[in-house]
Amino acid sequence: MRIAMSVMTVALVAGCAVAMPTNTMLPGGWTWQSVGAGSYNTGLQGTERGGGNGQAIGPFNDTSFGVMDEAGTPWVTGNDVSAQQYVQRQRFGNFGTTGAMGRYNNPGYQGTGNNANFPQIGSEARSVSLNHWNNTAPDAGGVATLNQIVRVPVSATLVVGLGYGADEMILKMIGGSGGQRSQFFVDSTINASFSTTAFGIATTTGTMRVNAIVAANDAGGSNYDIAWGYGASNSSGDPSISRVGSMDAIFENGVVVGEPVQGLSPNSVGASISRTYDVLSSLVQTGGAFSINFAANAEIINLVRDFGNADARAQMGPGMEGNARLVVEYAEFRAVPTPGAIALLGLGGLVATRRRRA
């Protein structure tokens, strides 16, 4: 089972500041009485997940590309715009994938042949749908009536999380000369982003650039797999792996922010992005749904044989997960006559007079 790096959940702690209705007018001599505070919270909503190969009963925990649109599988939802579950690139020849139908079989994605290698690039799109706050007592204007309740938002926060990465990062050594060694350079990228048309938020993009140099014994008349992702244990014996750190980097909106880390499985990479947005100035108070759209792609950019006679195929199984939460804190007020004043109903409407002391 391939699971992308999990997305960190951000806790929100917000206090209500003092706020008063500004659009709803009070009759003369009236006041706004504070009657408390409240909040609206959508809860953390995440993108859909798929199941393991052949899994029919949840919970489904796999965030790999494509796991929800495999033909004939019971977890197909129809809401996913998926591509293949692997990306692969081979130097010389085409080893092919001829497993049973499901994630381990390539039925011919992106113009490739049935049972051939998966394409060298794959993509994925998923979304989270949230509901805007429906303020049933808005500060909508007009003249307040006795005991009318008005709710005024004092803070509104949208938190968006994105996790992306890959596992099953395998270099398959194929053939070559017995007793000799071959060395290959693997270069790859994994890109992910989120965007929404709500609140005027700009698109945020993350990119991982990951590569490795793999030197190992030729497979001769056979083949075998070598792990090349972070956390793979290849430090002793043969085969061996060494990493090129100069190009292992994470970018956010084009700026280097760090290096990839090990994902959820040993032979993997992962990264996460979390953003907190103050959306009070663009808050919608009439309900309705909006979406946070997540997209990702992964590519084996290049596979170069530095020396030797073996062939090789590099692969990885990319994954992506997004989540979002909207939290609104509001203050609640009631329209009442000012203490010490008497409200009179006359032909001209509500008026207020102040008692005089004798």
Find all residues with CB under 8 Å of 358, minimum gap 6, and list them.
Answer: none
Element (H, E) at 139: none
pLDDT digits (tens, 9 = 90+) for 97-114: 766 556 677 877 888 888
Q: In the chain, which ranges are continuous DSSP H helix?
A: none
Q: What is the mean pLDDT of residues 140-165?
A: 97
Q: What is the mean pLDDT of residues 132-158?
A: 97
- Return the SS3 of 247: helix
Find all residues with CB under 8 Å of 241, minimum gap 6, and list them.
Answer: 212, 213, 214, 215, 216, 226, 227, 228, 232, 234, 235
Rounded Cα distance between 30 and 145, Å, is: 10
pLDDT digits (tens, 9 = 90+) for 155-165: 999 999 999 99
Name the average pLDDT for the chain.
Answer: 84
- 244 or 50: which carries more pLDDT confidence? 50
Q: Phi and psi (nearest 5°) for 265?
A: -115, 160
59 has pLDDT over 80? yes
Rounded Cα distance between 209 and 146, Å, is: 63
Q: Phi and psi (nearest 5°) for 175?
A: 65, -145
Element (H, E) at 282: none
pLDDT of residue 19: 81
Rounded Cα distance between 273 and 353, Å, is: 59
pLDDT of residue 354: 39
pLDDT band at 18 (very low <50, low <70, confident <90, very high): low
Domain extent listing, the chain: 30-332
- 230 or 303: which carries more pLDDT confidence? 303
- 27 or 1: which carries more pLDDT confidence? 27
149 has pLDDT over 70? yes
- 78 or 142: which carries more pLDDT confidence? 142
Q: Phi and psi (nearest 5°) for 200?
A: 65, 30
Rounded Cα distance between 324 and 97, Å, is: 37
pLDDT of residue 293: 96
The DSSP line for 268-332 is BEEEEEEEEEE-GGG---B--EEEEEEEEEEEEEEEEEEESS-EEEEEEEEEEEEEEEEEEEEEE
- Return the SS3 of 39: strand
184 has pLDDT over 80? yes
307 has pLDDT over 80? yes
pLDDT band at 36 (very low <50, low <70, confident <90, very high): very high
Q: Are the C-beta atoms of residues 249 and 211 closer than 8 Å to each other? A: no
Count of residues making up the chain: 358
pLDDT digits (tens, 9 = 90+) for 314-323: 999 999 999 9
Rounded Cα distance between 90 and 300, Å, is: 10
- 179 or 301: which carries more pLDDT confidence? 301
241 has pLDDT over 60? yes
Rounded Cα distance between 252 and 85, Å, is: 24
